[in-house]
């Protein structure tokens, strides 16, 4: 609210419940912006912020669906007005059916309306959202009002995590660690990828996670060279590696882990050679995440680190590097994705990418080397918090990653 223009209103809508077919719907997931700002984790909810409202009680309003006995029996009771205040800290709670009337009254006092558009750099949404419908309707009904964007404000404030957020993210990482340790005693030749997925979901849910923070990737052998492999339906063979990009959510906050382990509990000499190269890049890339670092420069440095390792592994030669296309560096043949992204309420979270990094931003660090011709790919990933001084704090520091420790635990 402190960053809003004078005489302006900002509105944030909950997500839709998305249909599958017949009477089936997907499980509800709250829009992360309204959840971040209000704590309201319920469908058909609207948050309205109007710092300059004449009536002070209208400076923060939460609109929720009016509950009744029928809803309580069939779906479970929704938030009462008192519970709306308890969840959000907002004193003024209205029923959703009053929104149009209240909104019209407040828009007569306002000059500008802030719309919450999705401007995430990875967004690829093709369906019309509840937010989209609200924007379209409001532009038609209030054509004389100026329009502003909420997203730049949200990118800035959501990118820097509060202590309470870091605590929840640590819990998500701890649950993920429990799942990974469970696997180290379970994986052996002949196990199926989906059986590994089942072990993980069991451990996550029994620790009060809703489940996976994102679709799990459990990729054995050459499947690891498909970056978004999601089938998880192949048998794990003796001598192969398994790349597992799997992590738990907790209280809507994501963790994001990748580990690569040997099916039979023992890396081959070549596998370990590549593994250690990836681990070195991860450790060195982590040290670069400090306040003041620029996103573009960071990824350029990570590319240099990877280039050195690929040369040492014999995957690139000096001519490859000397003759590389600056827009497509030679290392991209074996490491084709970025090294880090913001993480928080979204796995690929909001956060500034064009301004210097700041303390309490949380990033993944996830280098990888993918070698289809050798039948394996290796990626390693942890989640780290940028500190005011010194190296980032690793939220996954207690999860095994050294090759010798993984071998030891698998053969215990």
In percent, the amount of the chain with pLDDT more than 70 equals 100
Q: Does 13 have pLDDT greater than 90?
A: yes
Query: Does 324 participate in catalysis according to the annotation?
Result: no
Query: Does 404 participate in catalysis according to the annotation?
Result: no
Tokens standing for 152?
A: 């730049």
- Counting other chains too, the contacts that 321-324 makes at CB distance below 8 Å and 24 or more residues apart are none
Q: Does 295 have pLDDT greater than 90?
A: yes
Please tell me what DSSP assigns to residue 408: H
Half-sphere exposure of 69 (CA within 13 A, CB side): 0
Tokens standing for 184?
A: 């180290």
Distance of CA 157 to the CA centre of its chain: 16
Query: Does 36 participate in catalysis according to the annotation?
Result: no
Question: How far, in Å, CA of 315 to CA of 339, rounded?
Answer: 19
**Strand pairing category for 217-220 and 393-394:** unpaired
CB-based contacts of 39, cutoff 8 Å, min separation 6: 87, 88, 89
User: How large is the average pLDDT for residues 46-67?
Assistant: 97
Query: Does 348 participate in catalysis according to the annotation?
Result: yes
Q: Does 226 have pLDDT greater than 90?
A: yes
**Strand pairing category for 393-394 and 24-25:** unpaired
Element housing 244 (H / E): strand 241-245
In which residue ranges of the chain is CATH 3.90.230.10 found? 160-410
Query: Does 70 participate in catalysis according to the annotation?
Result: no
CA-based R_g, the chain, Å: 24
User: How large is the average pLDDT for residues 58-64?
Assistant: 98
Tokens standing for 272?
A: 């370990």
The residue ranges of DSSP E strands in 42-82, in sequence order, are 46-49, 60-64
Task: Tell me if 156 sits within 8 A of 352, measured CB to CB.
Answer: yes
20-29, 251-260, 336-345: the lowest-pLDDT one: 20-29
Q: Does 74 have pLDDT greater than 90?
A: no
Which member of 70, 75, 228, 388 is catalytic?
Answer: 228
Query: Does 245 participate in catalysis according to the annotation?
Result: yes
Query: Does 31 participate in catalysis according to the annotation?
Result: no
In percent, the amount of the chain with pLDDT more than 90 equals 94
* Per-residue model confidence as pLDDT tens digits over 360-390: 999 999 999 999 999 999 999 999 999 999 9
Q: Please choose, from the candidates 332, 412, 402, the residue with its C-alpha nearest in 3D space to the C-alpha of residue 369.
A: 332
Please tell me what DSSP assigns to residue 330: G
Question: How far, in Å, CA of 264 to CA of 280, rounded?
Answer: 24
Distance (Å) of CA 97 to CA 46, 64, 67, 94, 285: 11, 9, 11, 8, 52
* Per-residue model confidence as pLDDT tens digits over 40-51: 999 999 999 999
- Residue 37 pLDDT: 98
The confidence band for 76, taking pLDDT boundaries of 50, 70 and 90, is confident
Question: How far, in Å, CA of 123 to CA of 106, rounded?
Answer: 32
Q: Does 70 have pLDDT greater than 90?
A: no
User: How large is the average pLDDT for residues 177-188?
Assistant: 97
CATH architecture of 160-410: Alpha-Beta Complex (3.90)
- Residue 191 pLDDT: 98
The confidence band for 81, taking pLDDT boundaries of 50, 70 and 90, is very high
69-78, 153-162, 287-296: the lowest-pLDDT one: 69-78
* Per-residue model confidence as pLDDT tens digits over 238-270: 999 999 999 999 999 999 999 999 999 999 999
* Per-residue model confidence as pLDDT tens digits over 262-283: 999 999 999 999 999 999 999 9
User: How large is the average pLDDT for residues 350-360?
Assistant: 96
In which residue ranges of the chain is CATH 3.40.350.10 found? 8-158
**Strand pairing category for 8-13 and 112-115:** parallel
Q: What are phi and psi of 378, to 5 degrees?
A: -130, 125
Q: Residue 314, Cβ neighbours under 10 Å: how many? A: 8
Report the SS3 class of residue 69: helix
Query: Does 69 participate in catalysis according to the annotation?
Result: no
Query: Does 299 participate in catalysis according to the annotation?
Result: no
CATH C-level class of 8-158 = alpha beta
- Residue 68 pLDDT: 84
Q: Please choose, from the candidates 397, 396, 395, 398, the residue with its C-alpha nearest in 3D space to the C-alpha of residue 161.
A: 395
User: How large is the average pLDDT for residues 86-102?
Assistant: 98
Query: Does 381 participate in catalysis according to the annotation?
Result: yes
- Residue 264 pLDDT: 98
- Residue 251 pLDDT: 97
- Residue 126 pLDDT: 87
Query: Does 199 participate in catalysis according to the annotation?
Result: no
User: How large is the average pLDDT for residues 179-201?
Assistant: 98
- Cα first-last separation, the chain: 55
Q: Residue 266, Cβ neighbours under 10 Å: how many? A: 14
- Residue 77 pLDDT: 87
- Residue 250 pLDDT: 98
- Residue 16 pLDDT: 95
Which member of 119, 162, 337, 402 is catalytic?
Answer: 337
Element housing 195 (H / E): helix 193-206
Question: How far, in Å, CA of 275 to CA of 311, rounded?
Answer: 15
Which member of 341, 349, 382, 383 is catalytic?
Answer: 341
The confidence band for 72, taking pLDDT boundaries of 50, 70 and 90, is confident
Which member of 33, 203, 249, 381 is catalytic?
Answer: 381
Q: Does 73 have pLDDT greater than 90?
A: no
Element housing 152 (H / E): helix 151-159
Which member of 23, 69, 75, 164 is catalytic?
Answer: 23
Task: Tell me if 326 sits within 8 A of 290, measured CB to CB.
Answer: no
Which member of 16, 284, 309, 366 is catalytic?
Answer: 366
């Amino acid at each position: 609210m402190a960053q809003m223009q004078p005489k302006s209103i900002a509105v944030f809508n909950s997500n839709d419940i998305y249909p599958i077919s017949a009477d089936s719907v997907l499980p509800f997931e709250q829009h992360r912006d309204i959840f971040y700002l209000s704590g309201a984790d319920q469908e058909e909810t609207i948050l309205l912020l109007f710092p300059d409202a004449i009536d002070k009680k209208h400076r923060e309003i939460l609109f929720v669906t009016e509950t009744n006995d029928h809803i309580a029996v069939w779906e479970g009771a929704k938030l009462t007005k008192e519970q709306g205040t308890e969840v959000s800290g907002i004193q003024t709670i209205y029923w959703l059916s009053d929104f149009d009337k209240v909104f019209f009254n407040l828009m007569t006092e306002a000059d500008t309306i802030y719309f919450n558009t999705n401007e995430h750099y990875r967004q690829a949404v093709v369906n019309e959202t509840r937010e989209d419908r609200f924007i379209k309707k409001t532009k038609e009904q209030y054509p004389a009002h100026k329009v502003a964007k909420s997203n730049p404000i949200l990118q800035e404030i959501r990118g820097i995590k509060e202590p309470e957020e870091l605590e929840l993210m640590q819990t998500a990482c701890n649950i993920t660690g429990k799942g990974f340790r469970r696997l180290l005693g379970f994986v052996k030749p002949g196990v199926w990828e989906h059986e590994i997925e089942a072990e993980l979901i069991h451990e996550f849910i029994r620790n009060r996670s809703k489940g996976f923070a994102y679709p799990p990737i459990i990729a054995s052998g050459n499947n690891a060279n498909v970056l978004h492999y999601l089938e998880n339906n192949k048998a794990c063979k003796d001598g192969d590696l398994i790349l597992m990009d799997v992590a738990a959510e907790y209280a809507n906050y994501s963790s994001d882990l990748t580990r690569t382990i040997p099916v039979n509990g023992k890396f081959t000499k070549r596998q370990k050679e590549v593994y250690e190269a990836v681990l070195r890049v991860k450790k060195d890339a982590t040290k670069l995440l400090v306040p003041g670092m620029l996103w573009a420069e960071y990824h350029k440095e990570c590319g240099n680190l990877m280039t050195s390792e690929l040369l040492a592994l014999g995957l690139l030669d000096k001519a490859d590097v000397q003759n590389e296309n600056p827009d497509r560096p030679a290392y991209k043949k074996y490491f084709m994705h970025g090294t880090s992204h913001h993480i928080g309420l979204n796995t690929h979270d909001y956060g500034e990418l064009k301004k210097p990094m700041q303390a309490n931003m949380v990033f993944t660090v996830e280098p990888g080397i993918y070698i289809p011709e050798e039948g394996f790919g290796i990626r390693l990933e942890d989640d780290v918090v940028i500190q005011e001084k010194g190296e980032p704090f690793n939220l996954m520091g207690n999860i095994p990653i050294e090759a010798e420790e993984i071998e030891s635990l698998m053969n215990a």
